Chains A and B, each alone.
Chain A
């Protein structure tokens, strides 16, 4: 079960810490991973978060943007953020080089129920950049691989060149992650699946659905269909978690922007057990 944690000073939540870009890794067209380190003592090189949480990254003069943390929670020194150029702040971030500084508030929000995975099968379903908030789960579960049963990642992207973290797949497979990938549109070299991610799900054996944990992150429409398919396979709604996104402005539940029905996605989410948010996901434009 995900829980709320308070990271920055709860009495002064507006204060950003200074972070420095240590490394920038180009991932796919328009997407790069920024490895950040806190460089002001006493917190320099010391950062803790739980898989699924996000930070507010701040470029003075441009603004703040909510970005999920895509690294290993066991690594307290380096804080990776995989960022797609989408708006003003992310485009300005793309102009920066290693060594540049920016502000960081966080970590914020709820986390994936990784502690509920012991002894159960785990099914991760990601779409596009939605793999980034799930990568900390992959790292965590691979670090204690023998504690869980089947460990599967279903991953769908638009095209073969937009597969995130492809360089790591061999290592993940070797350590016991069953990766199944599909793309919306193939190219001349693609020999894998083409189609939506639910097609992969429908082909999956799922030997014990009542003992399977699902965590999904991607476009809402993808998560919606994936969950409907998982429900038909007998996976209980209470065993599934989604990561939702709305405009996050303050990240601490005070500014009102990220509301979806009764939920403030920044502090009640972004990770929710599916049965909690199922009714509000059914309403258009909420």
Chain B
């Protein structure tokens, strides 16, 4: 049975349809990446079938804590976000940027032929769509384009999933990024007891929708999907005071609270590794044994690494106070100046995966609650730079 999917209301796909979706994506040449359980967490990895998904599992999160628990149903997407994000596929943690070979005529530099798989991401949440849009600006919106990111991004097919629950660490509603997926996907699913309500967000999505076992959804089914999505909204308890946040932070660069955070922060880099928008990297030279063939390897880096600000035999940010301040003010304040958007999408990963449970919403609230005395504009700092 073929359904005209080019117009009309969303469609209903029965639970078995998920397997058909994965098979269709594979048939189209995509490597399907989806949520799957690994080492006690829901991670994003290549999957072959719907059986690889964490069916019947949920995650329980709070500051510094993440656990998986059984659900009392067999939902495929009954959890929020884990330690992985899609950035590890679009902005690989490890990539070869260039090579150099010693020849009789001197060094010969090249950039390698890059032939990545075409990825289909299954289960992208609204905050993650927002994070991809942020990294689009970082890697493809400036005068220079990162070809590694762009090639993977251009080829990607995105199946979004609307959240139907929220973790205590979620605050997408504050950041205006979710929980409803509104754009940036090819297909979007809402899971209910009926199956999946499917919407298309692109021509490629509509093409694929036509190959799936779907029928028009009834008004009752759409109501149940809306109620499921509303449940996620209702469960969000955490908030970030975004109003005037950029100015608040940039006017409080010498606030005593930075020192207070520094006494707790381990500078371990976890928050930046799990953050779906953090983009810092460094390059390492990797030579073979002869030294005649060299590769330039790019790896994720973090502003919490002590040598991140190394320059001319010294380090600019030589204490945790200055490194935490850099991370938070970049993410929530100067990101606006650089990319015309916040660097935070409200996914809460940095809160969950901080080993000491530092919560950026609480740190911001502490500064907002007692802002530093406003300094006159002509005040010169006590020590010269």
Q: Are A12 and B311 in contact (CB under 8 A)?
A: no
Q: Are A254 and B146 in contact (CB under 8 A)?
A: yes
List, in ascending order, chain B residues with CB within 8 A of A257's CB.
280, 282, 301, 308-309
For B377, the closest partner residue in chain A by CB is A279
A234 within 8 A of B: no
Taking a contact as CB atoms closer than 8 A, the residue among B108, B147, B291, B330 that contacts A61 in the complex is B291
Q: Are B312 and A87 in contact (CB under 8 A)?
A: yes
Q: Mark A223-242, 1 if CB is under 8 A from B, else 0.
A: 01100100000000000000
Indicate the size class of the contact surface on chain B.
35 or more
Q: Are A62 and B109 in contact (CB under 8 A)?
A: no
List, in ascending order, chain A residues with CB within 8 A of B385's CB.
220-221, 224, 281-282, 284
Q: Are B312 and A256 in contact (CB under 8 A)?
A: no
Task: Determine the distance from Cα of A39 to Cα of B110 in the docked complex, in whole angstroms.
Answer: 15
Q: Are B143 and A245 in contact (CB under 8 A)?
A: no
Taking a contact as CB atoms closer than 8 A, the residue among A18, A250, A253, A285 that contacts B283 in the complex is A250
Q: Are A255 and B253 in contact (CB under 8 A)?
A: no
Task: Determine the distance from Cα of A282 to Cα of B376 in the docked complex, in whole angstroms.
Answer: 13
Among B12-20, B47-55, B120-128, B313-321, the stretch in contact with A: B313-321
List, in ascending order, chain A residues with CB within 8 A of B107's CB.
18, 60, 101-103
Task: Determine the distance from Cα of A203 to Cα of B247 in the docked complex, in whole angstroms.
Answer: 40
B260 within 8 A of A: no
Chain A proximity of B153: nearest CB distance (Å): 14
Q: Are B144 and A252 in contact (CB under 8 A)?
A: yes
Q: Are B111 and A256 in contact (CB under 8 A)?
A: no
Q: Are A285 and B108 in contact (CB under 8 A)?
A: no
For B253, the closest partner residue in chain A by CB is A283
Q: Are B310 and A247 in contact (CB under 8 A)?
A: yes
A100 within 8 A of B: yes
Task: Determine the distance from Cα of A16 to Cα of B147 in the docked complex, in whole angstroms.
Answer: 15
A14 within 8 A of B: yes
B102 within 8 A of A: yes
Task: Determine the distance from Cα of A242 to Cα of B330 in the docked complex, in whole angstroms.
Answer: 23
> A-B pairs with CB below 8 Å: how many?
149
Among A130-138, A159-167, A258-266, the stretch in contact with B: A258-266
Task: Determine the distance from Cα of A262 to Cα of B336 in the docked complex, in whole angstroms.
Answer: 8
Indicate the size class of the contact surface on chain A.
35 or more
Q: Which of B266-295 contact A (CB under 8 A)?
A: 279-283, 285, 287, 291, 294
List, in ascending order, chain B residues with CB within 8 A of A12's CB.
111, 147
List, in ascending order, chain A residues with CB within 8 A of B380's CB.
228, 282
Task: Determine the distance from Cα of A18 to Cα of B144 in the docked complex, in whole angstroms.
Answer: 20
Task: Determine the distance from Cα of A198 to Cα of B142 in the docked complex, in whole angstroms.
Answer: 39
Q: Are A283 and B381 in contact (CB under 8 A)?
A: yes
For A285, the closest partner residue in chain B by CB is B322
List, in ascending order, chain B residues with CB within 8 A of A58's CB.
100, 109
List, in ascending order, chain A residues with CB within 8 A of B254's CB.
283
Task: Determine the distance from Cα of A245 to Cα of B319 in the docked complex, in whole angstroms.
Answer: 20
Q: Are B283 and A249 in contact (CB under 8 A)?
A: yes
List, in ascending order, chain A residues with CB within 8 A of B301's CB.
255-257
Task: Determine the distance from Cα of A189 to Cα of B382 in the docked complex, in whole angstroms.
Answer: 37
Q: Are A11 and B281 in contact (CB under 8 A)?
A: no
Q: Are B309 and A246 in contact (CB under 8 A)?
A: yes
For B295, the closest partner residue in chain A by CB is A60
Chain B proximity of A277: nearest CB distance (Å): 11
- Chain A interface mostly: loop
Q: Are A254 and B296 in contact (CB under 8 A)?
A: no
Task: Determine the distance from Cα of A20 to Cα of B317 in the docked complex, in whole angstroms.
Answer: 36
B337 within 8 A of A: yes
Task: Determine the distance from Cα of A60 to Cα of B285 in the docked complex, in whole angstroms.
Answer: 7
A267 within 8 A of B: yes
A64 within 8 A of B: yes
Q: Are A61 and B287 in contact (CB under 8 A)?
A: yes
Q: Are B100 and A284 in contact (CB under 8 A)?
A: no
Q: Which of B17-39 contact A (CB under 8 A)?
A: none
Q: Are A60 and B147 in contact (CB under 8 A)?
A: no
Task: Determine the distance from Cα of A51 to Cα of B317 in the docked complex, in whole angstroms.
Answer: 30
Taking a contact as CB atoms closer than 8 A, the residue among A10, A16, A60, A62 that contacts B145 in the complex is A10
Task: Determine the distance from Cα of A247 to Cα of B314 in the docked complex, in whole angstroms.
Answer: 10
List, in ascending order, chain A residues with CB within 8 A of B146's CB.
13, 254
Chain A proximity of B102: nearest CB distance (Å): 7
Chain B proximity of A272: nearest CB distance (Å): 14
A286 within 8 A of B: yes
A174 within 8 A of B: no
Once A253-B143, A254-B138, A285-B316 are accepted as A-B contacts, the answer to whether A245 and B311 lie under 8 Å apart by CB is yes
Q: Are B294 and A60 in contact (CB under 8 A)?
A: yes
Q: Are A256 and B313 in contact (CB under 8 A)?
A: no
Q: Which of B161-204 contact A (CB under 8 A)?
A: none
Q: Are A10 and B109 in contact (CB under 8 A)?
A: no
Task: Determine the distance from Cα of A10 to Cα of B294 in the docked complex, in whole angstroms.
Answer: 23
List, in ascending order, chain B residues with CB within 8 A of A225's CB.
384
Q: Which of A4-37 contact B (CB under 8 A)?
A: 4, 6, 10-18, 20
B98 within 8 A of A: yes
B334 within 8 A of A: yes
For A254, the closest partner residue in chain B by CB is B146
Q: Mark A93-128, 1 if CB is under 8 A from B, else 0.
A: 000000011110000000000000000000000000
Q: Are B281 and A250 in contact (CB under 8 A)?
A: yes
Taking a contact as CB atoms closer than 8 A, the residue among A63, A100, A224, A250 that contacts B285 in the complex is A63
Once A14-B296, A63-B285 are accepted as A-B contacts, the answer to whether A254 and B139 lie under 8 Å apart by CB is yes
Q: Are A15 and B316 in contact (CB under 8 A)?
A: no
Can you list 13 contacts pairing A with B, beta carbon distance less than 8 Å? A15-B98, A15-B110, A16-B109, A18-B107, A60-B107, A60-B287, A220-B385, A221-B385, A249-B281, A256-B280, A282-B380, A285-B318, A285-B319
Give B residues with C-beta under 8 Å from A. Answer: 97-98, 100, 102, 105-111, 138-139, 142-147, 250, 253-254, 279-283, 285, 287, 291, 294, 296, 301, 303, 308-313, 316-319, 321-322, 325-326, 330, 334, 337-338, 379-381, 383-385
Excluding A18-B106, A86-B312, 11 further A-B contacts by CB distance (< 8 Å) are A12-B111, A13-B147, A14-B98, A58-B100, A61-B100, A103-B100, A245-B312, A247-B311, A254-B138, A286-B253, A286-B325
